[in-house]
Amino acid sequence: MSSIDPWVSVEPSTIPAAILGPLPFVPGSVTYAIPADVVPSSANGILVFAWYAITGAINQNGWWHFTVNVAGGAQNWFSLMVAAGLASQIASPCNSQAFWLPMPVDGNLEVTLFNGQLPPAGQCEGYVEIHGYYP
């Protein structure tokens, strides 16, 4: 069995640029540039971490897609669900996920909220962060 090269950890509390920005809480997309001072353009993969916490009723479950463009015009992505109980119930859902994606050929990570009808501003919080990379 061949060995797996170690990955490089990135700690957002000491490298603030690793916090790419807030999750979109209305349907649509946000594009985040991967900072070169966080992940070198020569990297092979990125460890993306996303989290959210919501207070208030979620009227329609949804999901975020985290997408990168790869060579040959293809895309790789993963999803993070956002769901709660019945629409009439006030809930406090929270969730987080970390996942590996290839280093995007254009240096960007696109995050899209699909389907969700989330509470208004002030009742939603969540961010997209880089927690590591493969050299």
Q: Where are any strands of DSSP class E within 12-117?
A: 19-22, 28-33, 45-54, 62-69, 75-82, 94-102, 108-114
Q: Is residue 8 part of a domain?
A: no
| Residue ranges making up the domain that contains 106 | 19-129
Residue 94 pLDDT:
80
Q: Is residue 14 part of a domain?
A: no
Q: Is residue 96 part of a domain?
A: yes
117 within 8 A of 6, measured Cβ to Cβ: no
CA atoms within a 13 Å half-sphere pointing along the CA-CB vector of 76: 15
Residue 85 pLDDT:
57
Domain total in the chain: 1
Q: Is residue 134 part of a domain?
A: no
From first CA to last CA, the distance across the chain in angstroms is 20
Domain CATH code at residue 117: 2.60.120
* Cα 128 to Cα 61: distance, rounded to the nearest angstrom: 20
Query: Which residues of the chain are under the pLDDT cut of 70?
Result: 1-4, 84-92
In this structure, what are the phi and psi dihedrals at residue 48, rounded to the nearest 5 degrees?
-100, 135
Three-class SS state of 133? strand
Q: Is residue 94 part of a domain?
A: yes
Residue 115 pLDDT:
81
